[in-house]
Amino acid sequence: MGCRIALLFGALFFAIPITARNIAARKATARVPPLLAPNCRNVQIPLGNITAYNIDFRSALSGLNFTDPEAVMDVFDSCLDPDTFIDPYDYEIIQPVVERNVTIHGIFCEPEVPVPPKERQIHFLVHDITYDKLMWHGLGVLEYSLADAMASGLKGSYTLAIDLWGHGDSHGATYPDPWQVLQPPFHVEVLHEVVKKLRQNERGLWKAFKNVTYVGHGFGAQLGALLLKGYPKDADVFVGSGLPTASNEIKPFPKEWNLVPAAATVPKYARQPLGYFAGDVDDNANTARQNTLYGGYFEEGLAFLDYIFQDTIAAGEACWGGSYLALETVPRESDFAGQACILAGEYDRVACADSILSVEAPECKERLRSVCKYAFPNTRSCEINVLGSTGHAWMLHRMGPQAVRTIRRWSERGDSWGNLCTTLTPRRVKY
């Protein structure tokens, strides 16, 4: 019933006149506590101090007035251009950055039926940009909760969906610097520390896991590829969906995102400094988000909930490689020797689609194969799957509940999602 109410709530919101809907969106200062399965709970993971070698943007962009919204917006827009790529290590100024007292928030789910210690495994779920951990929990709609499905069944997996630092609930009393701190090298060090904790007993949280499956979407998938480039033994299985591989006519360009400084959108972001961005609070922004992240079959009510509960993107995350949407931001020739799975929705404008009529386009499959070839040449297997009738945020499309049902059936075998890669839809392509 809770699922239906949530979807109905979204559908009713979508039917509200534009002006009233915008006012309602502006009042969305915080998310209603999401509906979680009984075997899931919110957790906090203290990591202490994190050190990473980031770009010193304040020196590299010495002519930029970091307090001028228009100047900052111009730089940020250039970083959203998929045709832009700057090798981040070509910047002359790479400096160590230290962030103190990092605590990561997440949702931890235990199998519905106890699992023997030797069979204990975990799926480590990392969200895309402008999302948080609830991406993997169907935005609080259980019918779409992949994380809950993975933990179901007789031999379910543990799951941990986290908020990246600076996103969701993972931030201190003040938000981290969006330019100097929130860059991929820093996120990778955070992820590495979390994985280290997954591999050992954490009193009050979990027992050690010998098998870790990293599941990332979009930016989270890019970070996972970077993680395994630097720490190839951090995961046994890598699942990456929505990786930026597109080179086509309809890719989303900067103005299509309709992003503005986050502090100017809704009250919950009022404390964020200039350098955090979110979709504007107007009907055009809702349409823009839907056009860039959705395609095929989806519930408009859920897509609108996606819009009003959106998270932010930081300037350092977008600008580290010139554009986080550039294909070149996916690292090459990792020593990762485990199992890999590369997914994309057929209408995914970042990773897959060649036209709005594209169905199982050969070009899309070839792009996914190319990720296997140049990013993961040493894996024991790398499979790909084009998910039908879905856009970028495929888990929030109508195939989401279908994927949940498939995963629930699969969980009874206690298998890793690496083996589930090609069973989400009947379309199977093996590299």
Provide CATH code, domain 2-430.
Answer: 3.40.50.1820
CB of 297 closer than 8 Å to CB of 389: yes
Mean pLDDT on 336-354: 88
Selected residue with higher pLDDT from 167 and 205: 167
Residue 397, both tokens = 């499309």
Q: Is 70 exposed, middle or buried (0-12, 13-18, 19+ CB in 10 A)?
A: exposed
Among the ranges given (71-80, 114-123, 358-367, 394-403), the one the predictor scored with the smallest mean pLDDT: 358-367
CA distance 92 to 316: 16
pLDDT tens digit sequence for 237-273: 999 999 988 655 567 877 888 999 999 999 999 999 9
pLDDT tens digit sequence for 172-195: 999 999 999 999 999 999 999 999
pLDDT tens digit sequence for 153-169: 667 789 999 999 999 99
Q: If you count them, how many residues does the chain have?
A: 431
pLDDT beyond 70 at 425: no
CA distance 352 to 366: 10
Amino acid type, 323: S
Please report how many Cα atoms fall inside a 13 Å half-sphere around the Cα of residue 377, on the Cβ side.
6
CB of 181 closer than 8 Å to CB of 166: yes
H-helix or E-strand containing 107?
strand 94-109
pLDDT beyond 80 at 68: yes
Cβ neighbours for 62, distance < 8 A, ≥ 6 positions apart: none
Which residues on neighbouring strands pair with residue 158, listed in sequence order? 122
pLDDT beyond 80 at 411: no
* 3-class secondary structure, 42: strand
What's the pLDDT score for residue 203? 84
What's the pLDDT score for residue 76? 94
DSSP H helices, 164-250, are 184-198, 219-230
* 3-class secondary structure, 125: strand
Buried b / exposed e over 354-371, threshold 16 CB at 10 Å, is beeebeebeebbebbbbb
pLDDT beyond 90 at 83: no
Neighbours of 13 (CB within 10 A): 18
Q: What percent of the chain has pLDDT over 90?
A: 55
Q: Is 198 exposed, middle or buried (0-12, 13-18, 19+ CB in 10 A)?
A: buried
Cα–chain center distance at 410: 23
Greatest pairwise CA separation for the chain in angstroms: 59
pLDDT beyond 60 at 12: no
In terms of DSSP bridges, do strands 276-279 and 313-314 run parallel, antiparallel, or are they unpaired?
Answer: antiparallel
**Residue found under tokens 């979407």:** 217
Across the chain, mean pLDDT equals 85
What's the pLDDT score for residue 412? 66
* 3-class secondary structure, 260: strand
What's the pLDDT score for residue 116? 83
Nearest to 108 by CA among 44, 185, 32: 44
Residue 221, both tokens = 């998938």
Mean pLDDT on 394-423: 79
Selected residue with higher pLDDT from 377 and 153: 377
CA distance 176 to 406: 39
CB of 265 closer than 8 Å to CB of 278: yes
What's the pLDDT score for residue 246? 66
**Which phi and psi angles does 372 have, rounded to 5°?**
-60, -45
pLDDT tens digit sequence for 297-315: 999 999 999 998 999 999 9
Cβ neighbours for 236, distance < 8 A, ≥ 6 positions apart: 211, 212, 213, 338, 339, 416
What's the pLDDT score for residue 324? 76
What are the strands of the beta sheet with 237-241, ordered from one edge? 40-55, 94-109, 158-162, 121-126, 211-217, 237-241, 339-345, 381-387, 429-430
Q: Give Cα separations from 402 to 34, 50, 176, 396, 409 (angstroms).
A: 21, 39, 38, 11, 11
CB of 241 closer than 8 Å to CB of 151: no
pLDDT beyond 70 at 361: no
CA distance 376 to 371: 7
pLDDT beyond 60 at 20: no
Q: Is 77 exposed, middle or buried (0-12, 13-18, 19+ CB in 10 A)?
A: middle
